[in-house]
Amino acid sequence: VLEERLPGAEASVHAICDGERVLMLPAAQDHKRALEGDQGPNTGRMGTYAPAPLVDAALLDRVRDEVVLKVIRGMQAEGTPFVGTLFVGLMVSPEGEPRVLEFNVRFGDPEMQAIARRFKSDLLPYLVATAKGKLAKMDPPAWDERFVVGVVAASEGYPGTYRRGDRITGIDAAESLDDVVVFHAGTSSEGDEAITSGGRVLCVTGMG
Protein backbone atom coordinates (compact mmCIF):
# COMPACT_ATOMS: atom_id res chain seq x y z
CA VAL A 1 0.00 0.00 0.00
CA LEU A 2 1.35 3.40 -0.99
CA GLU A 3 0.11 6.50 0.77
CA GLU A 4 0.89 10.16 0.40
CA ARG A 5 3.31 11.40 3.03
CA LEU A 6 1.88 14.42 4.81
CA PRO A 7 4.44 16.73 6.40
CA GLY A 8 3.40 18.85 9.34
CA ALA A 9 2.24 18.50 12.93
CA GLU A 10 -0.71 16.54 14.26
CA ALA A 11 -3.61 18.00 16.21
CA SER A 12 -6.77 16.56 17.74
CA VAL A 13 -10.11 18.30 17.24
CA HIS A 14 -13.35 17.19 18.88
CA ALA A 15 -16.94 18.11 18.08
CA ILE A 16 -20.01 16.96 19.95
CA CYS A 17 -22.93 16.54 17.56
CA ASP A 18 -26.66 16.16 18.22
CA GLY A 19 -27.54 15.03 14.70
CA GLU A 20 -27.93 18.57 13.32
CA ARG A 21 -25.74 20.94 15.29
CA VAL A 22 -22.16 20.76 16.47
CA LEU A 23 -20.23 22.20 19.38
CA MET A 24 -16.54 22.50 18.56
CA LEU A 25 -14.09 22.00 21.43
CA PRO A 26 -10.70 23.73 21.46
CA ALA A 27 -7.95 21.63 19.91
CA ALA A 28 -5.35 19.60 21.77
CA GLN A 29 -2.08 18.04 20.68
CA ASP A 30 -0.84 14.62 21.74
CA HIS A 31 2.55 12.94 21.76
CA LYS A 32 2.77 9.25 20.92
CA ARG A 33 6.40 8.15 21.34
CA ALA A 34 7.16 6.06 24.42
CA LEU A 35 10.41 7.76 25.42
CA GLU A 36 11.60 11.28 26.09
CA GLY A 37 12.87 13.36 23.21
CA ASP A 38 10.27 11.91 20.83
CA GLN A 39 12.10 8.58 20.85
CA GLY A 40 10.95 4.98 21.07
CA PRO A 41 7.94 3.16 19.63
CA ASN A 42 4.53 4.66 19.07
CA THR A 43 2.00 4.18 21.85
CA GLY A 44 -1.64 4.95 22.44
CA ARG A 45 -0.35 8.38 23.53
CA MET A 46 2.00 9.38 26.34
CA GLY A 47 1.08 13.02 26.82
CA THR A 48 -1.00 15.93 25.67
CA TYR A 49 -1.51 19.65 26.04
CA ALA A 50 -4.38 22.01 25.39
CA PRO A 51 -5.14 24.37 23.85
CA ALA A 52 -2.94 23.63 20.84
CA PRO A 53 -1.62 26.93 19.39
CA LEU A 54 -1.25 25.07 16.09
CA VAL A 55 -5.04 25.29 15.67
CA ASP A 56 -6.17 28.87 16.17
CA ALA A 57 -9.77 30.08 16.07
CA ALA A 58 -9.71 30.63 12.31
CA LEU A 59 -8.39 27.13 11.60
CA LEU A 60 -10.89 25.59 14.02
CA ASP A 61 -13.67 27.35 12.10
CA ARG A 62 -12.30 25.90 8.85
CA VAL A 63 -12.28 22.40 10.30
CA ARG A 64 -15.87 22.90 11.43
CA ASP A 65 -17.06 24.18 8.05
CA GLU A 66 -14.94 22.06 5.70
CA VAL A 67 -14.83 18.79 7.63
CA VAL A 68 -17.22 18.35 10.54
CA LEU A 69 -20.34 19.95 9.09
CA LYS A 70 -19.84 18.16 5.77
CA VAL A 71 -19.68 14.82 7.60
CA ILE A 72 -22.77 15.64 9.68
CA ARG A 73 -24.79 16.84 6.68
CA GLY A 74 -23.69 13.89 4.58
CA MET A 75 -24.86 11.45 7.22
CA GLN A 76 -28.14 13.34 7.56
CA ALA A 77 -28.67 13.07 3.80
CA GLU A 78 -28.11 9.31 3.98
CA GLY A 79 -30.70 8.96 6.73
CA THR A 80 -28.16 8.09 9.41
CA PRO A 81 -27.73 11.27 11.49
CA PHE A 82 -24.67 11.19 13.72
CA VAL A 83 -25.14 11.78 17.44
CA GLY A 84 -22.13 11.74 19.72
CA THR A 85 -18.48 12.75 19.70
CA LEU A 86 -16.57 13.15 16.45
CA PHE A 87 -12.82 13.11 16.98
CA VAL A 88 -10.91 14.43 13.96
CA GLY A 89 -7.22 13.60 13.79
CA LEU A 90 -5.52 16.27 11.70
CA MET A 91 -2.17 16.87 10.10
CA VAL A 92 -1.57 20.61 9.82
CA SER A 93 0.91 21.38 7.05
CA PRO A 94 3.74 23.91 7.41
CA GLU A 95 1.51 26.25 5.39
CA GLY A 96 -1.31 25.86 7.92
CA GLU A 97 -3.52 23.62 5.77
CA PRO A 98 -5.51 20.94 7.62
CA ARG A 99 -5.59 17.38 6.27
CA VAL A 100 -7.73 14.68 7.88
CA LEU A 101 -5.81 11.60 9.02
CA GLU A 102 -8.61 9.78 10.80
CA PHE A 103 -12.04 9.95 12.39
CA ASN A 104 -13.00 8.37 15.69
CA VAL A 105 -16.38 8.41 17.39
CA ARG A 106 -15.10 8.90 20.93
CA PHE A 107 -13.13 11.39 22.94
CA GLY A 108 -9.37 11.25 22.56
CA ASP A 109 -7.36 9.78 25.42
CA PRO A 110 -5.53 11.58 26.98
CA GLU A 111 -6.53 14.69 25.00
CA MET A 112 -9.95 14.91 26.61
CA GLN A 113 -8.44 14.99 30.09
CA ALA A 114 -6.64 18.21 29.18
CA ILE A 115 -9.66 19.66 27.38
CA ALA A 116 -12.03 18.82 30.24
CA ARG A 117 -9.79 20.58 32.77
CA ARG A 118 -10.31 23.82 30.84
CA PHE A 119 -14.11 23.43 30.72
CA LYS A 120 -15.41 25.96 33.29
CA SER A 121 -19.03 25.09 32.63
CA ASP A 122 -20.55 21.76 33.69
CA LEU A 123 -19.81 19.32 30.86
CA LEU A 124 -22.64 16.88 31.64
CA PRO A 125 -25.56 19.12 30.52
CA TYR A 126 -23.90 19.54 27.12
CA LEU A 127 -23.59 15.78 26.73
CA VAL A 128 -27.21 15.26 27.76
CA ALA A 129 -28.34 17.97 25.32
CA THR A 130 -26.33 16.23 22.61
CA ALA A 131 -28.07 12.93 23.26
CA LYS A 132 -31.49 14.61 23.25
CA GLY A 133 -30.90 16.72 20.12
CA LYS A 134 -31.07 19.99 22.06
CA LEU A 135 -27.64 21.58 21.63
CA ALA A 136 -29.33 24.67 20.17
CA LYS A 137 -30.78 25.44 23.59
CA MET A 138 -27.38 25.49 25.30
CA ASP A 139 -25.35 28.64 25.88
CA PRO A 140 -21.74 28.58 24.64
CA PRO A 141 -19.53 26.98 27.30
CA ALA A 142 -17.02 29.00 29.31
CA TRP A 143 -13.35 28.06 29.01
CA ASP A 144 -10.40 28.60 31.33
CA GLU A 145 -7.75 30.52 29.41
CA ARG A 146 -4.87 28.68 31.05
CA PHE A 147 -2.96 25.79 29.48
CA VAL A 148 -3.16 22.19 30.63
CA VAL A 149 -0.44 19.57 30.24
CA GLY A 150 -1.17 15.88 30.77
CA VAL A 151 1.57 13.28 31.27
CA VAL A 152 0.78 9.56 31.12
CA ALA A 153 2.29 7.21 33.69
CA ALA A 154 2.61 3.80 32.05
CA SER A 155 3.39 0.30 33.27
CA GLU A 156 6.90 -1.13 32.92
CA GLY A 157 7.26 -2.57 29.42
CA TYR A 158 4.47 -0.58 27.76
CA PRO A 159 3.65 -0.52 24.80
CA GLY A 160 4.96 -4.08 24.66
CA THR A 161 4.27 -6.78 27.24
CA TYR A 162 3.85 -4.89 30.48
CA ARG A 163 3.72 -5.72 34.16
CA ARG A 164 0.51 -5.72 36.19
CA GLY A 165 -0.13 -5.58 39.90
CA ASP A 166 2.45 -2.96 40.89
CA ARG A 167 1.43 -0.79 43.83
CA ILE A 168 0.83 2.88 42.93
CA THR A 169 1.96 5.57 45.36
CA GLY A 170 2.00 9.36 45.32
CA ILE A 171 -1.48 10.04 43.92
CA ASP A 172 -2.67 11.93 47.01
CA ALA A 173 0.58 13.90 47.15
CA ALA A 174 0.22 14.89 43.50
CA GLU A 175 -3.39 15.98 43.93
CA SER A 176 -2.49 18.06 46.98
CA LEU A 177 -0.66 20.42 44.63
CA ASP A 178 -2.52 23.41 43.22
CA ASP A 179 -4.26 22.81 39.88
CA VAL A 180 -3.19 19.16 39.61
CA VAL A 181 -5.75 16.43 38.86
CA VAL A 182 -4.90 12.75 38.37
CA PHE A 183 -7.09 10.71 36.00
CA HIS A 184 -7.17 6.94 36.38
CA ALA A 185 -7.02 4.51 33.44
CA GLY A 186 -5.31 1.14 33.92
CA THR A 187 -5.77 0.92 37.69
CA SER A 188 -7.50 -1.49 40.04
CA SER A 189 -8.05 -1.68 43.80
CA GLU A 190 -6.44 -4.21 46.09
CA GLY A 191 -7.65 -3.54 49.59
CA ASP A 192 -6.94 0.12 50.27
CA GLU A 193 -4.24 0.33 47.63
CA ALA A 194 -4.30 1.21 43.94
CA ILE A 195 -2.42 -1.18 41.66
CA THR A 196 -1.58 -1.21 37.98
CA SER A 197 -3.86 -3.24 35.71
CA GLY A 198 -3.21 -1.80 32.25
CA GLY A 199 -0.60 -0.27 29.98
CA ARG A 200 -1.43 3.38 30.42
CA VAL A 201 -2.10 3.72 34.13
CA LEU A 202 -2.62 7.38 35.02
CA CYS A 203 -2.78 10.77 33.34
CA VAL A 204 -1.43 13.50 35.60
CA THR A 205 -2.66 16.93 34.52
CA GLY A 206 -1.43 20.32 35.59
CA MET A 207 -2.95 23.69 34.74
CA GLY A 208 -1.14 26.99 34.59
Q: What is the pLDDT of residues 74-124, one digit of tens each?
A: 999 999 999 999 999 999 999 999 999 999 999 999 999 999 999 998 999
- SS3 for 125? helix
- The Cα–Cα gap between 182 and 201 comes to 10
Mean pLDDT, rounded, for 131-146: 96
Give which of 97, 21, 108 is closest to 62, Cα–Cα: 97
Q: Is the pLDDT of residue 137 over 90?
A: yes
Q: What is the pLDDT of residues 145-189, one digit of tens each?
A: 999 999 999 999 999 999 999 999 999 999 999 999 999 999 999
Looking at residue 3, its pLDDT comes to 87
Structural domains of the chain, with CATH: 9-207 (3.30.470.20)
CB atoms within 10 A of CB 171: 15
Position 17 confidence tier, pLDDT thresholds 50, 70, 90: very high
Mean pLDDT, rounded, for 130-157: 96
Mean pLDDT, rounded, for 19-26: 96
Rounded to the nearest 10°, the torsion over CA 151, 152, 156, 162 is -160
Mean pLDDT, rounded, for 31-35: 93
Half-sphere exposure of 33 (CA within 13 A, CB side): 6
Say what the pTM is: 0.91
Per 3-state DSSP, the chain is made up of helix, strand and coil in percentages (nearest 5) of 25, 40, 35
Beta bridge partners of 200: 154
- The Cα–Cα gap between 76 and 32 comes to 34
Residue length of the chain? 208
The H or E element that residue 131 is part of is: helix 123-132
